[in-house]
Amino acid sequence: MVSDLVRAWASGWALSRRTPRPVEQPWGAYIEVGQAEQTGRHVLFEAHESAVRAAAASVGVPHTWLKAPAEPEDVRPWLPRGWVVDEEETGHLMAVDLSATEPVPPEGYTASLETSDGVAYVRVHDAAGELAAKGQVALLGHEAVVDRVVTEETHRRRGLGAFVMRSLAGHAVAGGASVGVLGATDEGRALYETLGWKAHARLAACVYRP
């Protein structure tokens, strides 16, 4: 179910970003982020009108975000004054049945994998030692949440993103995970779909900017 995927995504995101654990709310969960551009975020497990209105009404601190598995245009009419839908931050909830492969870095690149407190980090460097691509995955048992997959602009279209994703998936499978979950941008969705990931819902992004 989409609600289960959202719940896993929220927990994995918090673990990956080293924030406090999500706090259960009637509409989902709240994550304290503590950054100037994002003080915290409410993650709704289901995007019912009553849940969106209740979560938004509970907010009094600017730059608090709300993420909901819904189309942005559906959520917008339910938001009280001071809230806006951020189209650029709206993404896609994606999942896949994980499988392990034996990916090899593209020629001219080397890769490393480090783990720390339930999160694995894959980094790819070029021949000069410069960081070319990276990504990380938070292990939650049955689920693994992929996060912060980035390929530097000068190294794109060389297969680095696919290599990072396959490396993270292999590590997650080795750690006992069988389902992968992530929140993707439009650009990221195109890559992930070529690797077998499927989009299950839009992730509407709303922010309180009174």
The pLDDT value recorded for residue 141 is 96
For the range 86-90, what are the long-range contacts, defined as Cβ-Cβ under 8 Å and sequence gap of 24 or more?
86/205, 86/206, 86/207, 89/65, 89/205, 89/207, 90/202, 90/203, 90/204, 90/205
Give the tens place of pLDDT for each residue, 117-144.
Answer: 999 999 999 999 999 999 999 999 999 9
Give the separation between CA 8 and CA 186, rounded to whole angstroms: 21
% of the chain beyond a pLDDT of 90: 100
User: pLDDT tens for residues 160-194?
Assistant: 999 999 999 999 999 999 999 999 999 999 999 99
- Cα–Cα distance measured from residue 139 to residue 86, given in angstroms and rounded to the nearest whole number: 29
pLDDT given at position 185? 95
The whole-number average pLDDT for the span 95-99 is 98
Give the integer Cα–Cα distance in Å for 18 and 35.
12
Name which of 156, 104, 102 is nearest 133 in CA terms: 156
pLDDT tens figures, 1-39: 999 999 999 999 999 999 999 999 999 999 999 999 999
Residue pair 89/66 in contact (Cβ under 8 Å)? The answer is: no
The count of C-alpha atoms lying within 13 angstroms of the C-alpha of 200, restricted to the half-sphere facing its C-beta, is 21
pTM reported for the whole predicted model? 0.95
Average pLDDT in the chain: 97
